[in-house]
Amino acid sequence: MKRKLTVMALVFAMLLAPVLSACNNGGGGKESGSKSNSAGKDGKQEITEFTAFLAVPGSEVNDDNEVKQIIAEKTGYKIKETWLTGQTETEAIGTMIAGDEYPDIIDGGVATKNLYEAGALVPLDDYIEKYPNIKNFLNEEQWDSLRQDDGKIYWIQQFGNIKGEDKTTTQTMGAFWIQARVLEWADYPEIVTLDQYFQLLEDYNKANPTMEDGTKNIPYTILCEGTKFFCLTGAPLELAGYPNEGSVYVDEETLKAVDYNTTDMTKRYYKKLNDGYKSGLVDPESFTQTYDEYIAKLSSGRVLGMHDQGWNFSNSVNAALTQAGLDKQGCDYIPIGLVFDEDIHNRWFTRQYTINTASGIGITKDCKDPDGVMKFMNDLLDQEIHDLRFWGVKGVDYDVNEKGEYFRTKEQRFESTNTSYRATHLCPYSWMPQYEGTSDDGINANKPSDQPGEFYDGLNDDIKRAFDAYGAKTYIDLLGVNEPAGPWYPLWTYSNAITTSTPGGIAFTKMDEVFHEYMPKVCIADDFEAMWDEFLKTYEECNPQDFLDEIQAILDKRIEDHKQYEN
């Protein structure tokens, strides 16, 4: 009997073990800011590691990453970053809220406001006052624009902050992109309109249907997956000469938000895609491919052109093309500021003085040491650390000439595009607060890609030839620089934060569903006109006016708020 009991007890212990250990894990996961004596050998310094979740796709760096370790030794902190995979940001954040467990640091993307509404974030006001680098990171108006309805600041927008002279060289915003080989083949023609662009793609593809190794070219592809839908729907706005405001444009005279999705200009754009689809110019997989498949396609060099935001593809794709030596074939992408008609002025690159208030880096209530996080962020903005993040280690990743200018050799540049080197050595903490523009030394750019000499020398030859042909020194020169029309720009930074708790938000979500279904349908429809009419009808059923009213209110408030900072 005794023995039987013991056996039984053992069986239960085994049955229960997974359950119990699961509970333990749950508890363990909550441990945050765990101190570990990871300085190890010399044991001098305690290094605190924070966890961070960033609701964007990104590449994880290794735990023993060298620059990460250097920064940790200098500051006493490091961050374990986790990125979004396979979900949308709202899904990932929504799940996190439902589970009520958070990492120490979080950027919820468009769902950041949801985190605030769920009470998951801690107010940062006191810490901001305490740390000068953070305090100076944004100006009064920008800080105020981040205040929530209780008057407190819960997140810091980490991007778009230009220190000193603006040295922007790359187009991180939207554009129609085209491979350098296409331009070279046509002897660098002046391309202004959408029609010319598609004509060029067609001509080139007729003359060169394959790449050097025999792979078939794809003249034009579109990414439509989930939240990356803007690759399809964003273009008509800018083709018509408006800067990118998101789902609406602002009539600059009446200051009214206008829905462009049903206008003739939008129809004209889709008609073009529909024609392209029928003639085989538009990749038939456009409407079904996933983000990963899209990036893989671009990285293979097969795709001649697409419309996309620079930030959405260029980092990974440019590096992959360079590593595969496809720049020799001219597969690098050049942005073009297309418009519908030649008399329209393109505003693809419009300077942005307001920050994206809808998202940013916040600290969660699960964080044991918010002060430590803020101290670390303060340190990350320190010029020395900032250089480590974006330039790397002096003498290893870059050198300095007698004038104090940073530069990289060919090998160093090549290494910086190597995925495994990036994982083991470089650690930009790319989603933590950072500066663009000029370094404190007044000579160098805060990021290598913005360093004028370095930037140009670092370009692949196919891009250099194109730049020379068009008399450009930077990507931006190709597009031209525009000033924003008003203090609301870009309006999407406000509209992105709308949720279904309001009628406008419900309308917006429904509109979004209709877009996801009908825009692809319109593109592949045999009878374009009929499908367009069906789209209009279905779209009307979503009550888009509710959404517009809400946007209008936001626009009015934004203009009103700005008045107090004028002059």
Partner 1 sequence: MAIAKAEKPLPKKKKITAKTLKSQRALLIAAAIFVIYGIVFYYVPLVGWLMAFQDYSPRLGFLGSEFIGIDKFKFLFSDKTFLRVIRNTLAMGVLNLVTSTFMAILFAILLNEVRNTRAKKVVQTVSYLPHFLSWIIVTGILHDVLASGGIVNELLLKFGWVDKPVNFFAKPEWFWGLVAFSNVWKETGWNAIIYLAAITSIDPSLYEAAAIDGAGRWQRIKNVTLPGIRPTIMILLLLSIGNVLNAGFEVQYLLGNGLVQSVSQTIDIYVLRWGISQNDYSLGTAAGLFKSFVSIVLIVIVNQLARHYGEERLY
Q: What residues line the site for partner 1 (CB under 8 A)?
A: 4-5, 8, 12, 16, 19, 86, 88, 90-91, 94-95, 97-98, 100, 111, 114, 117-120, 224-225, 229, 280, 284-285, 287-288, 290, 293, 499-501, 505, 509-510, 513, 515-517, 519-521, 524, 541
* Smallest distance from partner 1 to CB 516, Å: 4
Q: Minimum distance from CB of 191 to partner 1 (Å)?
A: 28
Shortest approach of partner 1 to residue 228 CB, angstroms? 11
Residue 423 or residue 524: which is nearer to partner 1 going by CB? 524
Which lies closer to partner 1 via its Cβ, residue 71 or residue 519? 519
CB of 15 to partner 1, least distance (A): 8
Which residue, 188 or 229, is less far from partner 1 as judged by CB?
229
Least distance (Å) between residue 391 CB and partner 1: 37
Query: Residue 196 half-sphere exposure, CB side, CA atoms within 13 Å?
Result: 17
Instruction: Give the helix/strand (H/E) hosting 176.
Output: strand 174-179
Nearer to partner 1, 213 or 342 (CB): 213
Short-list 78, 140, 32, 51, CA closest to 389 = 78
Closer residue to partner 1 (CB): 389 or 510: 510
Nearest alpha carbon to residue 306 among 206, 208, 228: 228
**Between 235 and 466, whose beta carbon lies closer to partner 1?**
235
Q: Any bridge partners for residue 79, and if so which? A: 50
CA distances from 26 to 29, 32, 101 (A): 5, 12, 9
Question: What residue type is assigned to position 423 of the chain?
Answer: A
* CB nearer to partner 1: pick between 121 and 339: 121
Helix (H, G, I), strand (E, B) or coil at 368: coil
96 or 175: CB nearest partner 1: 96
Q: How far is the CB of 216 from partner 1 (least distance, A)?
A: 8
Least separation, in Å, of the C-beta of 531 and partner 1? 12
How many CB atoms are closer than 10 A to CB 557? 12
* Least distance from partner 1 to the Cβ atom of residue 50, Å: 23
Strands 47-54 and 303-309: unpaired
User: Collapsing DSSP states into helix, strand and coil, what is residue 163?
Assistant: strand
**Which residue's entry shows tokens 């901001």?**
128
Euclidean distance between CA atoms 265 and 262, whole angstroms: 8
CB of residue 159 vs partner 1: minimum separation in angstroms? 23
CA distances from 229 to 4, 127, 226, 309 (A): 63, 37, 6, 11
Give the residue ranges of DSSP H helices in 187-341: 194-207, 230-233, 235-239, 264-278, 291-299, 310-323
Residue 391 or 515: the one with the smaller Cβ distance to partner 1 is 515
Within 10 A of 10 (CB to CB), how many other CB atoms are there? 10
